[in-house]
Chain A
């Protein structure tokens, strides 16, 4: 079991309010990703759940009972840290076994659990090495192994992949997802990388300045963002926003169109512009277009686009793919 419910959780450091009021229910076995820009309070929220920070007000209900006042070790959660936080002078074996040893479990049982975790994580050959003799990915696995053996109610990941290089990050992302599938455990994952959020999450929690902006599945957030912030944060390249005349035409204060939802033409279209810059990624080309009073727009073209910088171009947004927002930045539906 591993349900976690946050009820009116608040966190203040002195006069500074980090989390004004957070409410969230996480189901057993769910993979939830907290995502948001730096300083949005996502790590703080995770640390509140872990018990590494004390809540200023509110309840954190783990498996039906309020855990807000319990010390971290008593909450039955495991955490994987950004820097892995392995104990440098202990072997991999002792690193993984440490939590169990502190919990006073019998030695035979500890050995069995460590062996099993090592097997799951492909660490069996490295058990007697010290952390500094391991590569980044292996260290990451040891940190996960340390979390697994305690058989927690939920796993907490605090930006665990941000210290890895890009290729390894993709591999570890898949490994963590497979792990989630095989363990069926609740996992909460903090990241600022929206690609990680989109690919891994059952549900994404988007945070902005300590507020939960929107909670939903990756495609819900992509297709039906509740606010300008979510619309701008999810999706890469960023959604184009237009105000003024173009928006008024759609009875909105601001309209948003994703770069992949704009059709290009060299003869006619709704908006007119000049190509300022073309980014060639091979499979796609991102065109940055100066569209006069509509500002600078980004458009995705499949493959290589035949026109280069300086060319005149016309843009037409796809029908039904235009997101409308009011003057407070909330979506109009």
Chain B
């Protein structure tokens, strides 16, 4: 009984020690998650480079910080929040959609395309003079073949 209690106590002690940040390096970091976090951040020394592609000292330091925070059990959102609290919103490689104004960045291109699509729809509706394609239709093969055959006919006239 005493032996079992001792084992449990040792295991608990190890768990507490292991959870301390000072021992974080001993943790196996999820490299895939690390790369994902890294690929959403910028290097902050003014080089203008994406963290994933930057190898300068600031970038190395940032990687150490990310690993530390991962070791502390932070999830990606918490790590981004931590980074933004130190370096500002600029540290994110894309405008974080958690800030309402930044949603404008994400949706505007698609809204513009939607607008463009509507313009095309309205224009086609105005321009197309045969509304029904069934019945009185031109076969696509015939249309394309006509073009090939025109070229060939021209050559036949010339060379044969």
Task: Tell me if chain B binds chain A.
Answer: no
